[in-house]
Amino acid sequence: MTNFTALADQAEKAIREVFSPTPLQRNEYLSALYGAEIWLKREDLSPVRSYKLRGAFNAMRKFSDKKAFVCASAGNHAQGVAFMCRQLQVNGIIFMPVTTPQQKIQKTQIFGGEFIEIRLTGDYFDDCLYTAKSFCKEKGFHFLSPFDDEDIIIGQASVGVEIKRQLGSNPDHIILPVGGGGLSAGVTSYFENECTYTLVEPLGGACLREALISGKPTKLDTVNTFADGAAVGKIGEKTFNRLRNIGLANVITIPEDRICISMLNMLNIEGIVLEPAGALAVDALQDLGQAIRGRRVVCVTSGGNFDFERLPEVKERAQRFAGLKKYLILRMPQRPGALKEFLNLLGPDDDITRFEYLKKSARNFGSILIGIETKSPDSFNEFFGQLKEAGFTYSDITNDETLSQFV
């Protein structure tokens, strides 16, 4: 037993003062789909609906005599810290990005109650982190890193301790989401070479992949905040030191829109509510194919703090990625019968979800923004062929990042 393993075991035992082990559930639907024994480690069922409570507990229990704790978080770490502030009856100042979903802000306040103060600052996590650290240095309070701290990493490693005990042995393969790297650094350090790993990042926040390529933590130029629980612009120094030998082949990135398909599948088929970052491990299964067939695989569903007001956006993103919904700018002749000609080109399964006259670009033509939803991606191939044959000019803006923000 290594020193890290012993510390993780101790942290897991101490955590029982706060909450029971989260369930490890065999999922029959996913097992049948991928020809493997798929288990879900349900961190979305912790008291704060994410694994972040573990690290917060392990760090804060060692410094409970501090006057106040300070943290920066996009939501889940904040909730873990808030929960522990109330548990330990200590004060906490929590910095959150302005873009944090309202559901996470409200839940953080509920968990912390009178013991915490929430300050919204910056559009991105890294801006928020800088402000929190500066404030902490000025006031002399204790800063709780969301991931780049040994006590945090050891606390998150308790996920691995529970997996081993609940399975009765080591899994063959573990799939872990990566944001700042606290969870993945902890679990991989606990199991070491006893199993194989796949680490999963959102495409718009692939800070581990960038660090592995560069050989050191490197700040991303831009970060897509859709998967806010994993939207980190620069992986931690301490977490990267534990992950630097993981191998680039064992790190995959997933488009944010594709994650939405897995979120909807888990909700509609299994009744499991996952936030975007929480669905990363499940979504990665489709990329592993023969590598996991016949093996015992654990997917860590890292969080379920999902604001249902975002559900229409999730559905929209999923449809666009699956090729079932497209947005076009159509150049329509300004003459009687032109619109009817266009509508006659639509098939029986095609549905217009958006129709907006934009402007008259020339005396004889006008521009129309149109959204079309269908049941099969193949329908669009036939539709586009008919458009061309009929002489209609159009631009497909479905995947145009700039223009699609306006539809």
Confidence of residue 362 (pLDDT cuts 50, 70, 90): low
Residue 273: is its pLDDT beyond 90? yes
Identify the structural domains of the chain with CATH numbers, from first to last.
3-50+156-315 (3.40.50.1100), 52-144 (3.40.50.1100), 323-406 (3.30.70.260)
Cβ neighbours, 10 Å, residue 256: 18
How far is it, in rounded angstroms, from Cα 184 to Cα 147?
Answer: 10
Cβ neighbours, 10 Å, residue 208: 28
What's the burial of 127, exposed, middle or buried (CB within 10 Å: 0-12/13-18/19+)?
A: middle
How far is it, in rounded angstroms, from Cα 355 to Cα 204?
Answer: 30
User: What is the structure's pLDDT at 405?
Assistant: 64
Active site residues: 52, 302
User: What is the structure's pLDDT at 99?
Assistant: 83
Q: Look at residues 82, 104, 406 and name the one whose alpha carbon lies nearest to residue 228.
A: 104
How far is it, in rounded angstroms, from Cα 200 to Cα 173?
Answer: 13
Residue for token pair 């036939």: 382
User: What is the structure's pLDDT at 103?
Assistant: 78
How far is it, in rounded angstroms, from Cα 78 to Cα 354?
Answer: 39
Residue 239: is its pLDDT beyond 80? yes
How far is it, in rounded angstroms, from Cα 152 to Cα 91?
Answer: 19
What's the burial of 135, exposed, middle or buried (CB within 10 Å: 0-12/13-18/19+)?
A: middle
- Percent of the chain topping pLDDT 90: 78
pLDDT per position as a tens digit, 173-213:
999 999 999 999 999 999 999 999 999 999 999 999 999 99
Confidence of residue 407 (pLDDT cuts 50, 70, 90): low
| pTM across the whole model | 0.91
How far is it, in rounded angstroms, from Cα 283 to Cα 277?
Answer: 10
The full DSSP string for 268-281 is III-----TGGGHH
pLDDT per position as a tens digit, 366-404:
888 999 999 999 999 999 999 999 988 999 999 887 666
User: What is the structure's pLDDT at 54?
Assistant: 97
Name residues whose C-beta falls within 8 Å of residue 307's C-beta, 6 or more positions apart in sequence: 101, 102, 103, 104
Chain centre to alpha carbon of residue 76: 11
Structural contact between residues 41 and 162, judged by C-beta atoms closer than 8 angstroms: yes
Q: What is the mean pLDDT of residues 23-27?
A: 98
